Chains A and B, each alone.
Chain A
Amino acid sequence: MDRRTFLKLAGIGSLSFAAGCSDPEKTIYSLVKAPDDMVTGQAKWYATTCRECPAGCGVLVKNREGRVIKIEGNPLHPINKGKVCIRGQAALQGVYNPGRLKSPILKTENGLQNISFSDAENLLSEKFSIAKISGSGRIKMMTEVVSRPLYQIFDHIMTTYGADAPTVFEPFAYESLKTANEMVFGIDGLFSYKMEQSDFLISFGADFLDTWLSPVEYTIKFKEMHGVRNGKKGRFVHISPSQTLTAANADTWIPCNIDDETIVALGLIREMIVWGKGETLDKSLLGNLQSIADPYTIQKVSEQTGISERLISGISESLVKSRHPLVLGSGNSFNGERSLETCIASNLLNLLLNPDLSQLDFNERYRVETAARRSEIYNFFNEVSEDKTNLLLLNNVNPVFTLPKQSGVQKALKNKSVFVVCFSNFMDETSAKADMVIPVAMPLESWDVYESTSKVITTLQPAMKPLYGDPQIGDLLIRSSFKDVTETEFYKTEVIRSLVKKGSISTELQWLNMVRNGGLYNVPENKASFSKKLSKKIFDVLLLDRKETTIPLSLAIMPSVRFFDGRGANRPWLSEIPDPLTKVVWQAPVLMHPETVKRNNLKHGDMTAIETDNGLVEAIVYETAGIKENVLGISMRRDHTIDGQFIEDKEDSIFSLLSANIENLSGGPISHARVISIKKAKSSEPLAHTDGSRLQHDRKIAMAMPFSQYSNSQDHKKTHGGSGLSMHEFPLTLPIPEGYDAHRDIYPSHEHENYRWAMVVDLDRCVGCAACMGACYAENNIGIAGKRQIINGREMSWVRVERYLDPEDNKKVIFLPMMCQHCDAAPCESVCPVYAPHHSKEGLNNQIYNRCIGTRFCSQNCPYKVRRFNWFGWKWPYPLNLQLNPDVTARSKGVMEKCSFCIQRIKEAHTTAKREKRKIKDGEVIPACAQTCPSDVFTFGNLMDPESRVSKLVSDKRAYQVMGYLNTKPAVIYLKKILNEI
């Protein structure tokens, strides 16, 4: 071979070798025709509305290169004031869910068949025509809670075909609360509470931080009332069978049996009357009330509920002393036979305590009040079964999952003569049984409005094009149902027209303004009239002779702070982020009191088979003092694969354990069932939890101080400035030159240029809701490890909410968000052989992914254990990868990662500041966690600026650093929680 041939062959060989190794998917296509307002690398924000639950929070959606990548709250929006909960954050994973249907599906004899959107539309209009020919009223429709214009379209269609108005189905329809409101205030609906004005709050199972009415709104209001401000702090007592997130945030949580809330409430009514409250009330009413409440003496209440007399009298005393007490009834969790009574009693207590009812805002009504009562839902399906229907339309509801087996829904859907059309983006329990499933544009891709409350009309606009070109349901129905009737019209036009008709807006320009702001926030209110004349019925209800049936053990199906009624279960983040209280991921264990566990010869972590009157479920035992002894609790769970795919073979949902019984007066469901047996199951699975010990072993991690100590101490100097370096007395050592002490430090402090970023975390404000974690997952492209890997201990969260129990009373909980502390004397930095953890000139502890070789020494040496290693190359199954934030690297396997204080946001602020030739202003950089936190736990800023908020907050006497005795000089400074027990 001559030299030339050799060179040729070698050249070809090496080139083909190089080409063979390259990854073909790395091809970049340019956007041939870019949208007008799209600038590559620059985000667009669209104001729209979160529709993950009926609350209707305003959100800003970040769009990068045509893809929505992050959801943040709309600061202008009066409901959520710029904050979003964990479910809202995860709405993106609905849009990008791998299980999302790409085209309509028709059930044929040969199984499921994908059809085109136009075929589906034609088939639908054909079905409409057939229904029309068969006679009037042959169509039935059930929908989720929708906006008024959309409901009007539905209604109009139904009227045209001579059918009944569409039924609005929402698993949490607050029947008992609605009925109680009607009976006591004459308002058949759900109004808002001015919780922020109250100084003493009693909740009878109202989980307003979890799922109740409008969780973000009430988290904000709750912390306004309960967070320490100007030396004042409200008190909160929660009475419920299980320690929900809301209960865990109460100053005093009182466990009681299901339905025993009523007894406590009546006892309090008696006490209040004894204390002379309610004198302004009508005398005969008061007399009636007195006679009803009279048997409920403190002794009797204590006897019946097992709550100590001291506690009850303590509460009633505090109630009397407080100036603005507020009492909440629930309506969505632990619904029992006496829920209505509890709600009535709560309303009566409000009436007794605040005769002017200043904290109840009757004018602000929640949209979810349009939901039909459970009794009506059951009737609906019974009618469908009765062969009077040809076409059944289900809009984004999943009754097969959320209704008990005996409800008749399965029978109705099996009825051969009914053609069932599901408008749903996913294969779920209901769409799997439908004849045709038509995916429609999701809320983030649609035009609409939504009446979050009667004062707020919030707009929805497409933040991106529908991923698979799905039509909007409004457009689709207008087209298919009115095919031969009227001209085709767009739903968006209809929305504007309806707003104009209602007088909300008058011109097109106003509509544009409304869209830009995300809604109309000053809707002229119709003064709701409420009558103080109580309906006589309440006395009938309260005097109703209840059979004293003591259920030895009942199983309660509880709303989930992560999955709501189970609808969020296919969003991987929601399964991956642990439940705030159990810290369990990907599983829904059964909560059991230690006594109950012992009595049934079980132990923590055992798989049990629990049988109720209606069904059988297998769940892992989670031993906790956070539940009443005679109650078992399972949250509303749903099984999904790791990439959001629906698992069809699970025939029995968690709701099939319940009976289809309803509470007659309110028409509400019963959300618990009698347990027949608990046995150890044959199968077993380890509990996938992210916590180690539930106690903090006196290590000064999550610290608290009693309110008395906080308010009495006149000394406003730093009480934390201890001089010692022992575990019990240690100083606050700020990561700035002042924090350095020649006696303790070998090395001098780092020198920083202009900025030393730091964060203050106020434990008194943290409710543990994990919204920060959701925001962090979305912002920072954090991998989803899945159940198996979390059992192996490989969760990837950069910020975690640590939950610690009081060793003396396991019912007391303290939450602590833990993320990289960006220490000035960072143990991780010195041990890395290759300088991958690097101290930046602005004080950040940067992790240089490219430099990391994966020795994991940094993680081993981190006392806070906040570093996360990429054990694998984590997968984002298509299209979840479209959500990845282009500003943040998606890390590959073998490197360490951790909280970066959202350095991409700091960099962006630097760019802006540099362009404007100024320094970064305080509050200009807000990390994702701080941005979304509904209770404003996090404050981020520059410690070198004495005027910054963080600099001011660190002089608070509550300031401390986690395990400050290690002298790592963390840049995350915590403020102690303030305890204010009764």
Chain B
Amino acid sequence: MAELTAAQIDNTVLDTLAAPSKTYWGIVGLLGVGVMIGLMCWGYQIVVGIGVGGQNNPVAWGTYLINFVFWVGIAHSGTLISAILYLFRAGWRNPIARAAETMTVFAVCTAGLFPLIHVGRVWVVYYMLPYPNQRTLWPNFQSPLVFDVVAISTYLTVSAMFWYTGMLPDLAIIRDRATGNRKKIFSILCLGWSGRLEQWRHYTRIYLFFAALATPLVISVHSVVSWDFALGVIPGWHSTVFAPYFVAGAIHSGLAMVVTLMIPLRKLFKYEKIITMGVLENVAKTIVFTGLIVGYAYGVEYFLAWYSGNSVEQESFMWRAVGEYKIEFWIMVICNSIVPLLFFIKKIRTSIPWLLIICIMVNIGMWYERFVIIAGSVAHDFIPHAWGYYAPTLTEFGIMLGAFCLFFFLFILFVKHMPSISMTEMKEHLHAGGNDAG
């Protein structure tokens, strides 16, 4: 990084904001079509009923909640990178912090749609909110779903504010160089940033406070999501290991998603000098770590099932590995805890194709982990007479496609119109040396 200068950083980042090509708009358009397909599927489901999906009795939760947990998981590493690593002064997080935070915000947005898509009567979903009403009815604060509402909305609020605050100085840089309407827009967006000393002092303090505030949220949000399951009585859900297991899994998937996004970004925006191989390597090392935790959690689940002496629990876990969903189970185990071990090899973790392939595999594996837990556990729970299996339908795939398109749609719009790398932090980094995170 030594060869970088402040001007180069500004130029490289601001170059990405040049007028987009037709291909870009073509891709945005395609993604928009994908979003519309998802919306249409959702509309169809609202009109006809949840039955257009594949959920049934006993598997009443399907891809909607799988995707919900998946996206909440993705949302994790953004804040991990920008807040926790910030507090730990891990300097290598600076080049990817902005993109990771953006990913967080959009992933939470996408995740937040799924509970709405999932419920049977979305038109009365506001019953979940604690609003004063003549019936004097309040939500059931015992229910993990109400925890979810609180946790996810808090997380979205805090991570969005953190993200936006961090962007202020950069927005001002864009304002300074822009003309016309663009200048007007960015003048408003940067909230009158002038770069005075007091502003910088407040800014750095507030950024630190946000980082401190966001850090516990990283742990809490996915712990709360895990309680959706851990507080249930169902074998395969009812386990105290769930909170740490889910948090580790979330970070695992989030990091993999960061790499998946960074590699194309780096290539297209010529960020090679900023997002260096060293940065990617560090992420890959962290993936090895989270992968090991996840693998350990899988082992613990089996140990607990055996140690509990509870034959329902034992049968349920045995069935996971050899039953109807065995393919999903083995995809999960191999992609999440075996394949990432390849990153122990330096050649692999410094090779762009390998990084991309393995990270995509982790993403797939983490999706299947949620499938195995959410659909697999209830498919085979207490009453053998009620056992039944679930497979998603076209409508569900349509909605899933819509969700992925929505995420990339927002992300692509962002990287082309907003600074996708924090110029401020990069410059501070330049100034303070490699080991300081801002």
Shortest beta-carbon distance, A7 to chain B, in Å? Answer: 29
Among the listed B59, B124, B125, B384, which residue makes an inter-chain contact with A695, where contact means beta carbons less than 8 Å apart? Answer: B384
Shortest beta-carbon distance, A800 to chain B, in Å? Answer: 8
Query: Which of A420-428, A709-717, A831-839 contacts its partner?
Result: A831-839
Interface string of B43-84 (1 = CB under 8 A from A): 000001111001111111100000000000000000000000
What residues of chain B lie closer than 8 Å to A701, measured between beta carbons? Answer: 383-385
Among the listed B49, B60, B119, B121, which residue makes an inter-chain contact with A859, where contact means beta carbons less than 8 Å apart? Answer: B60
Query: Which of A21-29, A472-480, A787-795 contacts its partner?
Result: A787-795
**B382 close to A853 (CB less than 8 A):** no
What residues of chain A lie closer than 8 Å to B385, measured between beta carbons? Answer: 691-693, 696, 701, 800, 802-804, 818
A window 654-690: CB within 8 A of B: none
**B127 close to A893 (CB less than 8 A):** no
A window 764-802: CB within 8 A of B: 789, 792-795, 800, 802
Interface string of B137-154 (1 = CB under 8 A from A): 101101111100100000
- Asked whether B200 is an interface residue with its Cβ less than 8 Å from the other chain, the reply is no
Among the listed B115, B121, B142, B143, which residue makes an inter-chain contact with A894, where contact means beta carbons less than 8 Å apart? Answer: B121
- Asked whether A281 is an interface residue with its Cβ less than 8 Å from the other chain, the reply is no
Within the assembled complex, what's the spacing in Å between the Cα atoms of A960 and B270? 71
What residues of chain A lie closer than 8 Å to B378, measured between beta carbons? Answer: 860
Shortest beta-carbon distance, B237 to chain A, in Å? Answer: 8
Shortest beta-carbon distance, B139 to chain A, in Å? Answer: 5
**A789 close to B384 (CB less than 8 A):** no
- Asked whether A118 is an interface residue with its Cβ less than 8 Å from the other chain, the reply is no
Query: Which of A201-209, A459-467, A866-874 contacts its partner?
Result: A866-874
A869's nearest neighbour on chain B, judged by CB, is B60
**B121 close to A833 (CB less than 8 A):** no
**B60 close to A833 (CB less than 8 A):** no
- Asked whether A879 is an interface residue with its Cβ less than 8 Å from the other chain, the reply is no
**B57 close to A830 (CB less than 8 A):** no
**B382 close to A865 (CB less than 8 A):** yes
Shortest beta-carbon distance, A974 to chain B, in Å? Answer: 13
**B233 close to A966 (CB less than 8 A):** yes
B313's nearest neighbour on chain A, judged by CB, is A727
Among the listed A694, A699, A873, which residue makes an inter-chain contact with B311, where contact means beta carbons less than 8 Å apart? Answer: A699
- Asked whether B132 is an interface residue with its Cβ less than 8 Å from the other chain, the reply is no
**B60 close to A697 (CB less than 8 A):** no
Shortest beta-carbon distance, B134 to chain A, in Å? Answer: 14
Interface string of B98-111 (1 = CB under 8 A from A): 00000000000000
Within the assembled complex, what's the spacing in Å between the Cα atoms of A855 and B119? 5
Interface string of B360-396 (1 = CB under 8 A from A): 0000000000000000001001111111111000000
- Asked whether A370 is an interface residue with its Cβ less than 8 Å from the other chain, the reply is no
Within the assembled complex, what's the spacing in Å between the Cα atoms of A827 and B143? 11
Within the assembled complex, what's the spacing in Å between the Cα atoms of A794 and B228? 23
Within the assembled complex, what's the spacing in Å between the Cα atoms of A191 and B10? 103
- Asked whether A297 is an interface residue with its Cβ less than 8 Å from the other chain, the reply is no
Say yes or no: A851-B127 contact (C-beta < 8 A), given A860-B60, A868-B57, A872-B51. Answer: yes
**B55 close to A857 (CB less than 8 A):** no
**B49 close to A793 (CB less than 8 A):** no
Q: How big is chain B's contact interface, by range? A: 35 or more
What residues of chain A lie closer than 8 Å to B140, measured between beta carbons? Answer: 830, 832-835
- Asked whether B412 is an interface residue with its Cβ less than 8 Å from the other chain, the reply is no
- Asked whether A963 is an interface residue with its Cβ less than 8 Å from the other chain, the reply is yes
**B120 close to A853 (CB less than 8 A):** yes
Most buried by A among B118, B121, B386: B386
**A854 close to B382 (CB less than 8 A):** no
What number of residue pairs across chains A and B have CB atoms under 8 A from each other? 177
Shortest beta-carbon distance, B137 to chain A, in Å? Answer: 7
**B383 close to A802 (CB less than 8 A):** yes
What residues of chain A lie closer than 8 Å to B57, measured between beta carbons? Answer: 793-795, 859, 865, 867-869
Shortest beta-carbon distance, B216 to chain A, in Å? Answer: 23
Within the assembled complex, what's the spacing in Å between the Cα atoms of A129 and B384? 66
**B387 close to A870 (CB less than 8 A):** no
- Asked whether B90 is an interface residue with its Cβ less than 8 Å from the other chain, the reply is no
**A893 close to B49 (CB less than 8 A):** yes
Within the assembled complex, what's the spacing in Å between the Cα atoms of A213 and B74? 67
What residues of chain A lie closer than 8 Å to B348, measured between beta carbons? Answer: none
**A833 close to B120 (CB less than 8 A):** no
What residues of chain A lie closer than 8 Å to B146, measured between beta carbons? Answer: 833
- Asked whether A856 is an interface residue with its Cβ less than 8 Å from the other chain, the reply is yes
**B128 close to A833 (CB less than 8 A):** yes
Say yes or no: A864-B143 contact (C-beta < 8 A), given A854-B121, A856-B120. Answer: no
- Asked whether B312 is an interface residue with its Cβ less than 8 Å from the other chain, the reply is yes
What residues of chain B lie closer than 8 Å to A835, measured between beta carbons? Answer: 137, 139-140
Shortest beta-carbon distance, A74 to chain B, in Å? Answer: 34
Interface string of A307-341 (1 = CB under 8 A from B): 00000000000000000000000000000000000
Shortest beta-carbon distance, B249 to chain A, in Å? Answer: 20
Within the assembled complex, what's the spacing in Å between the Cα atoms of A22 and B385? 43
What residues of chain B lie closer than 8 Å to A871, measured between beta carbons? Answer: 49-51, 55-56
- Asked whether A863 is an interface residue with its Cβ less than 8 Å from the other chain, the reply is yes
B379's nearest neighbour on chain A, judged by CB, is A692
- Asked whether A698 is an interface residue with its Cβ less than 8 Å from the other chain, the reply is yes
Within the assembled complex, what's the spacing in Å between the Cα atoms of A88 and B381? 35
**B234 close to A860 (CB less than 8 A):** yes
What residues of chain B lie closer than 8 Å to A865, measured between beta carbons? Answer: 57-58, 381-383, 386
Among the listed B145, B386, B389, which residue makes an inter-chain contact with A857, where contact means beta carbons less than 8 Å apart? Answer: B145
Among the listed A856, A864, A873, which residue makes an inter-chain contact with B382, where contact means beta carbons less than 8 Å apart? Answer: A864
B228's nearest neighbour on chain A, judged by CB, is A857
Shortest beta-carbon distance, B231 to chain A, in Å? Answer: 7
What residues of chain B lie closer than 8 Å to A854, measured between beta carbons? Answer: 50, 119-121
**B128 close to A834 (CB less than 8 A):** yes
- Asked whether A343 is an interface residue with its Cβ less than 8 Å from the other chain, the reply is no
What residues of chain A lie closer than 8 Å to B264, measured between beta carbons? Answer: none
**B381 close to A853 (CB less than 8 A):** no
Among the listed A727, A853, A860, A872, which residue makes an inter-chain contact with B312, where contact means beta carbons less than 8 Å apart? Answer: A727
- Asked whether B310 is an interface residue with its Cβ less than 8 Å from the other chain, the reply is yes
- Asked whether A493 is an interface residue with its Cβ less than 8 Å from the other chain, the reply is no
**B384 close to A894 (CB less than 8 A):** no
**A853 close to B383 (CB less than 8 A):** no
Shortest beta-carbon distance, A701 to chain B, in Å? Answer: 7
Among the listed A827, A855, A859, which residue makes an inter-chain contact with B118, where contact means beta carbons less than 8 Å apart? Answer: A855
Within the assembled complex, what's the spacing in Å between the Cα atoms of A697 and B125? 39
Within the assembled complex, what's the spacing in Å between the Cα atoms of A827 and B142? 11
Within the assembled complex, what's the spacing in Å between the Cα atoms of A851 and B315? 36
Within the assembled complex, what's the spacing in Å between the Cα atoms of A650 and B233? 48
- Asked whether B26 is an interface residue with its Cβ less than 8 Å from the other chain, the reply is no
What residues of chain B lie closer than 8 Å to A895, measured between beta carbons? Answer: 120-121
Within the assembled complex, what's the spacing in Å between the Cα atoms of A222 and B292? 63
**A692 close to B127 (CB less than 8 A):** no
- Asked whether A645 is an interface residue with its Cβ less than 8 Å from the other chain, the reply is no
**A852 close to B382 (CB less than 8 A):** no
**B388 close to A793 (CB less than 8 A):** yes
- Asked whether A726 is an interface residue with its Cβ less than 8 Å from the other chain, the reply is yes
Shortest beta-carbon distance, A270 to chain B, in Å? Answer: 43
What residues of chain A lie closer than 8 Å to B118, measured between beta carbons? Answer: 855
What residues of chain A lie closer than 8 Å to B311, measured between beta carbons? Answer: 697-699, 727
What residues of chain B lie closer than 8 Å to A802, measured between beta carbons? Answer: 383, 385
What residues of chain B lie closer than 8 Å to A856, measured between beta carbons? Answer: 55, 60-61, 120
Among the listed A726, A794, A827, A894, which residue makes an inter-chain contact with B309, where contact means beta carbons less than 8 Å apart? Answer: A726
The 22 sampled A-B contact pairs (Cβ below 8 Å) are A696-B385, A697-B311, A792-B51, A794-B56, A794-B57, A802-B385, A818-B383, A827-B232, A830-B140, A831-B231, A832-B140, A833-B127, A833-B128, A835-B139, A853-B119, A853-B120, A857-B144, A857-B228, A865-B381, A865-B382, A893-B50, A894-B49
Could you list 10 further interchain pairs (A-B, Cβ under 8 angstroms) beyond the known A693-B385, A856-B61?
A692-B383, A697-B315, A727-B310, A793-B388, A793-B389, A802-B383, A857-B228, A860-B61, A865-B381, A894-B49
B residues sitting closer than 8 Å to A (CB atoms) are: 48-51, 54-61, 115, 118-122, 124-125, 127-128, 137, 139-140, 142-146, 149, 228, 231-234, 309-312, 315, 378, 381-390
Smallest CB-CB A-B distances: 9 pairs: A854-B120, A692-B387, A871-B51, A894-B120, A793-B56, A693-B384, A865-B386, A856-B60, A872-B49
